[in-house]
């Protein structure tokens, strides 16, 4: 989905971000008491009746799998995967954390994190039924095992 118009980054996002910012360069990854920034990938999708919704992932294969699966629903009318950063910063005046999603736009078709043919097999390789998180080490181990068997 392209980043055309202002609706893509509108403030009516159904996810729990205080701000969604389009940036040319993502902030550096950092972990401090007052500020945590993690880089990864954001899936932006338009949901019929709900509007724009954003989801953050640490790794590209699960982001692509999630976006592609959601788009197969008749209620999701568009999606894109983007290089992104998720920031949580404590605001003493509001006495709460402020959540910001930084999106780095790129190519028009699928955002800046152009999905590849390897994303879905990579996602499957990193799935562990015992864990809710995608495991990049398991995916790498599966890749190595496939290469050894294929040699």
At 124-143, the pLDDT tens digits run: 888 888 888 888 888 888 77
Cα–Cα distance for residue pair 36/28, rounded to 1 Å: 10
- For residue 84, what are the CA distances in angstroms to 7, 22, 141? 18, 9, 26
The model's pTM: 0.77
Cα–Cα distance for residue pair 123/62, rounded to 1 Å: 6
Per-residue pLDDT, 62: 92
Cα–Cα distance for residue pair 35/53, rounded to 1 Å: 24
Whether the CB-CB separation of 110 and 81 falls below 8 Å is answered with yes
At 43-100, the pLDDT tens digits run: 988 888 877 889 999 998 999 899 888 888 888 888 888 899 999 999 999 999 999 9
């Amino acid at each position: 989905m392209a980043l055309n118009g202002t609706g893509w980054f509108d403030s009516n996002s159904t996810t729990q971000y205080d701000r969604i910012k389009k940036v040319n360069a993502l902030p550096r990854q950092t972990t401090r008491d007052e500020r945590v920034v993690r880089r990864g990938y954001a899936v932006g999708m338009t949901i019929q009746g709900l509007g724009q919704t954003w989801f953050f992932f640490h790794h590209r294969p699960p982001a692509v799998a999630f976006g592609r699966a959601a788009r197969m629903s008749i209620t999701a009318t568009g999606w894109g995967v983007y290089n992104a950063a998720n920031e949580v910063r404590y605001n003493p005046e509001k006495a709460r954390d402020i959540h910001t999603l930084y999106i780095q736009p790129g190519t028009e078709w699928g955002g800046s994190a152009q999905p590849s043919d390897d994303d879905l097999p990579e996602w499957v390789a990193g799935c562990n039924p015992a864990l809710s998180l995608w495991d990049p080490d398991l995916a790498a181990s599966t890749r190595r095992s496939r290469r050894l068997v294929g040699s």
